[in-house]
Amino acid sequence: MSTTQLRRREGEVVANRPLGAYRQLSVVLPALGVPARPGQFVVAPPARADQVLPRTWWVSGEHTEAGFGSTLELVVPDTGVLPAAGEGLALTGPVGRGFGLPTTPVTAVVAAHGVAGAAGRWLGERLRTAGCTVHLVSVADDPEQHVDLVRARRGADGVHLTDLRGSEDTVAALAGSTGASVLYAVGPVDLSATVARVAAALAVVSQVTGLEAGASGLCGYGLCGTCDLPLVTGRRRGTRVRPCVDGPVLRGDLVDWAGHP
């Protein structure tokens, strides 16, 4: 993780809007040296003074304008402990490696769970801009937890709704019927393991997130080891990867998902 990514920037919340079961924060920061990418996250201070661990949020959009700084879009859980428009907010990041885009147009399936659906939607928009055919799979255990389906449908060739239990069958059927050559997953590690497993069965490429931004007990700085994942023997030096430092986006075939607790 570079020192540039770990730089803490003082920003201002210019909007705090409801978005279904979530809130969408727009935060203006000093201009980013490198554009943000889907799959990256930011680290925010704890919600309360009596809490130690920071909050981690997926980045769901970014716009930089010369002379006016960068605006990050963050879709976050509606916890009730969020800064209002006009308040300051210090953020570290965007942190880590984001998703890579294909060099030529392909058919892609993007699966995202809950609040991570906003990051998945942004990834889908980037893929379509690159000429790809994109199918989004929005995974939520409660219908109210799907993120902004109207915008998602505008930015994808198809949107498919399922829950975590049905995600494997949905992704496998969709990838098979569309001839997708790359599968993406944004959200909890269980979903990443599922998508990586489907990709392996179909002999296609997968890129997945190795941690869940917003999960409890996650420091976001590579210090706590909560997000560590085992690697497939012989694929890389060492036996484990720390996604907040070496990710969060990983190739699905590099991780020993069977060894994940």
191-246 pLDDT tens trace: 999 999 999 999 999 999 999 888 877 777 777 777 888 888 665 555 888 888 88
What pLDDT sits at residue 16?
A: 97
244: its two tokens: 């907040």
Question: What domains, with CATH codes, occur in the chain?
Answer: 8-95 (2.40.30.10)
Strand, coil or helix: 28:
strand
Residues 6+ apart with CB under 8 A from 135: 107, 108, 109, 110, 156, 157, 158, 159, 160, 174, 178, 180
**Parallel, antiparallel or unpaired: strands 240-241 and 133-139:** unpaired
Query: What separation, in Å, do the N-terminal and C-terminal C-alpha atoms of the chain show?
Result: 25
